[in-house]
């Protein structure tokens, strides 16, 4: 991404967003890239988180009362940051957004004492947040959450099993969704709790996915947390989940744009430098058509993302816009990454190459924070309500 690229979308952005885009690009160029942090190296996540904190990047996922930059959060700013970070590093993007996503139930439902204790540390990197929703039997269907929270005096006792939790084993606290009522009550008996990583009865184990991010399982066996760590009223968990996911959903599309734009940049450079049959492959019409399709899908994705983010920042209740942005941008990123590998040929299959990494990174975007199928459901539901 470049500041010039973002300026082309100024229908939805303000000058401060363009300034931010340039600043984040400077951070990537002057601090992130020269650090040469290997995502798969031990300690990479902590090094990146500290770098993001030192560069003031994490300020954009913390509200102003707790040391951040805006109140309420500025989704367009978050999207601008995510596009720039994803262009450079999938892990940096994931760490950035998890500070906001993992703490959002706390921001929405936590007591002032709890927010004052945990939120300021997010921007400094002293705290690392995670949101623990998914279980072996509960993914898209939140009503199937089986982890239980039983009231016992001034505490709740939690038992259950979460999986595919970003930052598991790395987070200092989890916004964890549990059942505080009967299974028959479904989504109406869900409640969030803030659970610190060092609570007795909480254990984590890593899960290795396509991309080398800290993801894992969280097991709770008689894990006792104070009632003051409940986020919102009992039974408010489903609503808090929707409010959290709906807010950040468009930003997944922004990350997709960043990955896709990097894939296009790599493809343009490769097509210009790779010669076959006596000419650069960029001279072949077939390759030119690939590049044209890639650029068109990236720009269309960016506009959908910024439209949805601008609507959110205006306080408009338009969940279909966020779903359209996530659906189109993440699906487009998959197509762009595939074309990038095709343009690179055998070089695109080399493990660790930029386009091979992007190919793996973008696949998860169509699943987490609501699958493409769920986004289609949301869009259709909103259309039929009109």
Is 134 in the same domain as 87?
no
CA distance 269 to 354: 12
Count Cα neighbours of 123 within 13 Å in the Cβ-side half-sphere: 18
For 35-59, write each residue's pLDDT tens digit. 999 888 889 999 999 999 999 999 9
CATH code (residue 373): 1.20.140.10
Three-state secondary structure call for residue 304 = helix
Instruction: Reply yes or no on whether the pLDDT at 9 is more than 60.
Output: no
Question: In this prediction, what percent of the chain has a pLDDT beyond 90?
Answer: 91
Would you state the pLDDT for residue 317? 81
Q: Are 98 and 248 in contact (CB under 8 A)?
A: no
Is 276 in the same domain as 380?
yes
Is 331 in the same domain as 213?
no
CATH code (residue 36): 1.10.540.10
Q: CA 241, 244, 246, 249: dihedral to nearest 10 degrees? A: -120
Tell whether pTM > 0.85: yes
Is 221 in the same domain as 118?
no
Instruction: Reply yes or no on whether the pLDDT at 241 is more than 50.
Output: yes
Q: Which residue range forms the structural domain that includes residue 354?
A: 239-385
For 53-108, write each residue's pLDDT tens digit. 999 999 999 999 999 999 999 999 999 999 999 999 999 999 999 999 999 999 99
61 Cβ partners below 8 Å, 6+ apart?
68, 73, 78, 96, 97, 99, 100, 103, 122, 123
Which residue among 235, 260, 278 closes a domain?
235
CA distance 192 to 178: 6
pLDDT band at 4; cut points 50, 70, 90 = very low
For 149-200, write each residue's pLDDT tens digit. 999 999 999 999 999 999 999 999 999 999 999 888 889 999 999 999 999 9
Is 215 in the same domain as 155?
yes
Would you state the pLDDT for residue 332? 98
pLDDT band at 382; cut points 50, 70, 90 = very high
What sign for the dihedral angle of Cα 354, 359, 364, 367?
Answer: positive
Instruction: Reply yes or no on whether the pLDDT at 2 is more than 50.
Output: no
- Domains identified in the chain, total number: 3
Q: Are 298 and 260 in contact (CB under 8 A)?
A: yes
Q: Are 291 and 269 in contact (CB under 8 A)?
A: no
Which residue among 172, 203, 235 closes a domain?
235
Is 32 in the same domain as 67?
yes
Instruction: Reply yes or no on whether the pLDDT at 11 is more than 70.
Output: yes
What are the catalytic residues? 369
Give the residue carrying structure tokens 């039997």.
137
Is 148 in the same domain as 87?
no
Instruction: Reply yes or no on whether the pLDDT at 235 is more than 90.
Output: yes
Is 243 in the same domain as 380?
yes
Would you state the pLDDT for residue 213? 87
CA distance 216 to 166: 7
CA distance 257 to 107: 27
Would you state the pLDDT for residue 139? 87
Q: Calculate helix-pair angle for 75-88, 285-313, nearest 10 degrees.
A: 150
For 118-132, write each residue's pLDDT tens digit. 999 999 999 999 999
Which segments of the chain does DSSP mark as H helices, in order?
3-7, 15-27, 33-35, 44-54, 75-88, 90-101, 104-109, 112-118, 120-124, 237-273, 285-313, 319-344, 354-363, 372-385
Instruction: Reply yes or no on whether the pLDDT at 30 is more than 50.
Output: yes
CATH code (residue 185): 2.40.110.10
Would you state the pLDDT for residue 10? 65
pLDDT band at 210; cut points 50, 70, 90 = confident
Instruction: Reply yes or no on whether the pLDDT at 7 is more than 80.
Output: no
């Amino acid at each position: 991404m470049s500041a010039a690229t973002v300026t082309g979308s100024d229908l939805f952005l303000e000058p401060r967003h363009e300034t931010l885009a340039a600043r984040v690009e400077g951070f990537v160029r002057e601090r992130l890239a020269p650090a040469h942090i290997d995502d798969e190296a031990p300690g990479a996540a902590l090094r990146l988180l500290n770098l993001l904190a030192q560069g003031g990047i994490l300020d954009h996922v913390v509200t102003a009362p707790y040391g951040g930059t805006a109140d309420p959060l500025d989704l367009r700013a978050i999207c601008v940051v995510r596009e720039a970070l994803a262009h450079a590093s999938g892990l940096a993007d994931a760490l950035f957004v998890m500070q906001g996503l993992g703490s959002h139930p706390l921001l929405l439902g936590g007591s002032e004492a709890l927010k004052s204790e945990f939120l300021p540390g997010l921007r400094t990197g002293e705290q690392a947040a995670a949101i623990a929703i998914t279980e072996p039997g509960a993914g898209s269907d939140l009503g199937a959450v089986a982890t239980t929270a039983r009231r016992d005096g001034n505490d709740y006792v939690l038992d259950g099993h979460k999986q595919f939790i970003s930052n598991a084993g790395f987070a200092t606290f989890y916004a964890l969704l549990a059942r505080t009522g009967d299974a028959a009550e479904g989504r109406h008996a869900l409640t969030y709790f803030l659970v610190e990583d060092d609570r007795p009865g909480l254990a984590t184990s890593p899960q290795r996915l396509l991309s080398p991010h800290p993801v894992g399982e969280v097991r709770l066996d008689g894990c006792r947390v104070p009632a003051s760590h409940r986020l919102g009223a009992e039974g408010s968990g489903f609503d808090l989940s929707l409010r959290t996911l709906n807010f950040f959903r468009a930003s997944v599309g922004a990350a997709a744009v960043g990955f896709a734009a990097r894939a296009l940049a790599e493809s343009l450079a490769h097509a210009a430098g790779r010669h076959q049959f006596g000419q650069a492959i960029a001279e072949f019409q077939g390759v030119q058509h690939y590049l044209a399709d890639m650029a068109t899908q990236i720009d269309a994705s960016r506009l959908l993302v910024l439209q949805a983010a601008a609507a959110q920042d205006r306080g408009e209740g338009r969940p279909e816009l966020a779903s359209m942005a996530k659906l189109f941008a993440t699906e487009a990123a998959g197509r762009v990454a595939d074309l990038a590998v095709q343009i690179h040929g055998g070089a695109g299959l080399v493990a660790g190459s930029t386009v091979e990494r992007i190919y793996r990174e973008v696949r998860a975007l169509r699943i987490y924070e609501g699958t493409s199928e769920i986004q289609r459901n949301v869009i259709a539901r909103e259309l039929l309500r009109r």
